[in-house]
Amino acid sequence: MTSARPDVAHGEPVPDNDAIGLPVLYSPDVVAQAFGLPSANWLEEAARQKRIPHTRIGRRLRFTRAQVDLAIQLCTIPQDTPEQPTQVRQRRTTIAQKAQSRRLQARIPARMRKAALSQGPRP
C-alpha cells in the first residue's frame, strides 16, 4: 500500500512505513508541535544530554511513537507522592565561630627580613 506523499527526490510515491515494517519517525519540529512547545530547542537539548530517548539517522534527530510516549512518561511528575521538602545545608562554621578562630597575621616584608638578617642578632 502506498501513501499519497511523493518522494521528493524522484517524484514517486513512497510506501507506508507500516507496510514495509519500519517504524514511523517524527522530526523534532513535529513532536514539539504535538507537545505544544514553541520550538524544538528543548527536545534537541534533552536528546543531546540523553535525558529522553531518541534516534539519530546520520546527524538527523528523529523520534518513534514509542520514544515519544516514553519521553512523556519520563517527564511526568507523579501526583500521588507528596513532594519532599528540600533540606537546607547547614554551614560547618557560623560567622561568629569564624571570628573567634585564628586571625590572620601579616607577613613581614622581604626587605625588612633581609635587613634584620644583615644586621645580625641584637644584643
Region of 59 on the Ramachandran plot (φ > 0 left; ψ -120 to 50 alpha; else beta):
alpha
Q: Please tell me the pTM assigned to this model.
A: 0.51
Which among 25, 37, 20 is positioned nearest to 64, based on CA atoms? 25
Per-domain residue ranges of the chain = 2-75
Q: Are 68 and 43 in contact (CB under 8 A)?
A: no
> What is the average pLDDT across 25-39?
92
Q: What is the pLDDT of residues 91-113, one digit of tens each?
A: 666 666 666 666 778 888 999 88
Which among 36, 26, 37, 24 is positioned nearest to 61, based on CA atoms? 26
